Amino acid sequence: MTSTSSKEKLSLTSMNFNRFLIFRYVTAIFFFTNLYWLVMAATTSTVGWIVPLVLMVGASIVMVEQVSKYWRPSHRLAWTKRYYWAQLGLNVGLISTILLGHRQFAYAFMTAQSEPWLMGCLGLGMIVSGLMLRRVYVIEHDQDRYLQQIKKFAASL
């Protein structure tokens, strides 16, 4: 009976941890996108490489916060929320710099012909960041559907 109880507890722990799965995947995508940007920016003589480096540090902090959810379950996502707000704000700022003709600050390695593609990618990053912020809100207020499934499962034990 102890074995069944420990399996049920492990199942609940895993289910609670998986509640945050989308953040781990999206943060990894942003991390490696920013890593690529950092590598490309490091080949230029500008200081534009600092922005992706800061974003990578932020993503790393989010990864640590997310992994800690396994041992310390909580619906608080303080660092995740900060990171996605920063990512969203920086994307808005970067689109603004492109529109104002200062693309060389952050993207000296790209040509003017790539600006529409670049603004599209930044816009997509804004949309994804906005969706992640919405998800943070829903989880922090215990309004996500996955939590309801976890509660049903726990009640059935």
Tokens of 106: 């952050």
Nearest C-alpha neighbor of 56 from the set 73, 41, 45, 74: 41
- The secondary structure element, H or E, covering residue 112 is none
The verdict on residue 151 lying in a domain is no
Percentage, residues of the chain above pLDDT 70: 97
- Determine, yes or no, domain membership for 132: yes
- What domain range is 132 assigned to? 21-143
Residue 67 lies in a domain: yes
Average pLDDT over every residue of 3-12: 82
In angstroms, the CA 22 to CA 10 distance is 20
Give the mean pLDDT of 67-79.
92
Q: Which residues 6+ apart lie within 8 Å of 83 measured at CB? A: 27, 58, 59, 61, 62
Residue 12 lies inside a defined structural domain of this protein: no
- Whole-angstrom distance between the N-terminal and C-terminal Cα of the chain? 13
Any domain includes 27: yes
pTM given for the model = 0.89
Residue 13: inside a domain: no
Helix extents (H) in the chain = 2-18, 21-42, 50-68, 78-99, 104-107, 115-140, 145-156
Residue with tokens 């040509």: 111
Residue-wise pLDDT tens digits, 9-51:
888 889 989 999 999 999 999 999 999 999 999 998 888 899 9
Which whole number is the average pLDDT over 106-133? Answer: 95
Domain assignment of residue 101, yes or no: yes
Nearest of 152, 23, 149, 140 to residue 75 by alpha carbon: 140
Task: Record the tokens describing residue 68, joined without a space.
Answer: 């800690």
With a cut of 90, say whether residue 58 has pLDDT above it. Answer: yes
Tally of domains within the chain: 1
pLDDT band of 96, cuts 50, 70, 90: very high
- Kindly state whether residue 155 falls inside one of the protein's structural domains: no
Which residues lie closer than 8 Å to 61 by C-beta, 6 or more apart? 79, 83
Q: What is the pLDDT of residue 154?
A: 84
